[in-house]
Structure 1
């Protein structure tokens, strides 16, 4: 399969590192003009430099998409896109009884409302042009709520609802809206988390990673953390012209953690 996204403009939020940056790299490698996004200009510029030489146009826009003002500024700088990857997100293990109201609101703003606001801004143009792709980077935690971070699971479930609802608005068009559900993935942020676990438990990083999967995701068939590129491969396909019949779907790239046949 030859995925060719030439002539398409793709915005990937939260793409200065991790899964987002891998997605941006994959889209650029498939010919799309890619816009990197992050909160800080320095990190955005550094991420853009990493993708130089991919043979396609890459630029960056610094904006905090967790706020309405940040989303508005981003849309003002980039009025139209063909592909929107709602990847910006945060996670934090915390006991339920220690999660204050402010954390619930913060997780909802970052993980859910960023995608809501940007989809609202860009989807009308996609429908008018009769082509577009919106992808929410959710998580298996949206189906398999983790007891160690229920607030995170809540936000990921909400993304699935929003994505499915938006897909209903595309009926009969060449616009699609889907979700991709990664499982534990060895991004930079997760790697720091695993290193902290290793230090706390007197283990090597590899031991800590393996034990985390066994203890917290025992149903995993993969039995390891996925790489960011493994997640990006799924997203690039969903964003492609070849994925035209995939719409309103929650596509799992979680290593078989969710124990269901559907």
Structure 2
């Protein structure tokens, strides 16, 4: 299917690895002029060169770097598509999560998104068409005890998406969230291999994945999601084919979330 994205220009934050990299590759394959973002030059450059993209570097938790990235990006034209993907978390129990941890998590996982929306939206409005897509998480819908700061921040992402959609009424710009469930990125694979012996999950990868899903992240498909599956959903919402979708949350979680 032709997603009618050829010639569009997209910035994907946190796209030097993981989900962001998969999204960058998916959009580049659709003819999008992609701008890869990361903090590590070697990784960002490698991804960018492999798909014929540009790249920018900076820490989106600071206004200074957000300004620098915006200036570099807009110097060669406006952005049609902003995909806010960069974020991080540390699994901590409630009482081990300090107020400072909460503040830091909100800055990394919410305010970094807001910074780029503020900076890129004015130019996008002049185009009469655009996409603001946030990467959320199934954990922002169905919470658990660990990492409460991250889960609350993720829920805030979901909510800002809807508020932004109302703000963008009549502009031709839509605002949506894609909420992945547990994803099999490289760090997750390494973590599961390290845990396999402790929990008796076996030595074969297929067996390890099945047992890890059964014990920790039950879903209807019986495996972890793949980054490419999230990238496909993002690419659809980025395309003109999704013009009638805004303020929505699209779960890509294999049925991990048990609510509507």
Give the Å deviation of 1:117: 0.6
1:99-120 alpha-carbon deviations (Å, 9 max, x no partner): 1222212211111111111011
Distance in 2 (CA, whole Å) between partners of 1:142 and 1:5 is 29
Instruction: Give the alignment of 1:110-259 within 5 angstroms.
Output: 110-201=108-199, 203=201, 204=203, 205-218=205-218, 220-259=219-258
Matched, 1:14 2:14: yes
Aligned Cα RMSD in Å?
Answer: 1.6
The superposition leaves residues 44-77 of structure 1 with CA deviations (integer Å, 9 ceiling, x where unpaired) of 111112324xxxxx11111111222221111011
Please give the per-residue CA displacement for 1:185-224, whole angstroms capped at 9, x wherever unaligned: 1112322332332254354354443333223333x11221
Moved more, 144-153 or 32-41: 144-153
Conserved? CA contact 2:80–2:129, under 8 Å: yes
SS in 2 for 1:129: coil
Question: Once the two structures are superposed, what CA deviation does each residue of 1:145-194 show, in whole Å capped at 9, x if it has no partner?
Answer: 12222222111101011111111111123100000000011112322332
Map 1:28-39 to 2 at 5 A.
28-39=28-39
Deviation at 1:254, TM superposition (A): 0.9
Superimposed CA distance per residue, residues 106-150 of structure 1 (whole angstroms, 9 cap, x where no aligned partner): 211111111111011111222222110010000000001122222
Structure 1 window deviating more from structure 2 (125-134 vs 33-42): it is 125-134
Match of 1:72 among 67, 76, 89: 67
Pairwise CA distance, 1:92: 2.2
SS in 2 for 1:210: helix
Q: What residue in structure 2 maps to residue 55 of structure 1?
A: none
In structure 2, do the counterparts of structure 1 residues 246 and 48 end up closer, same or farther at CA, with 3 Å as the change threshold?
Answer: same
Q: Distance in 2 between matches of 1:209 and 1:150?
A: 25
Q: How does 1:57-96 map to 2 (within 5 A)?
A: 58-79=53-74, 80-96=78-94
Unaligned runs of 5+ in 1: 53-57
Three-state SS of the structure 1 residue aligned to 2:126 is helix
| Equivalent pairs, count | 255
TM-score (norm 2): 0.93
Query: Is residue 95–residue 148 contact of structure 1 (8 Å, CA) maintained in 2?
Result: yes
TM-score (norm 1): 0.92
Distance 2:10 2:207 in 1: 37
Indicate if the aligned counterparts of 1:197 and 1:208 stay in contact, CA closer than 8 A: no
Question: Where has structure 1 moved over 6 Å in runs of 4 or more?
Answer: none
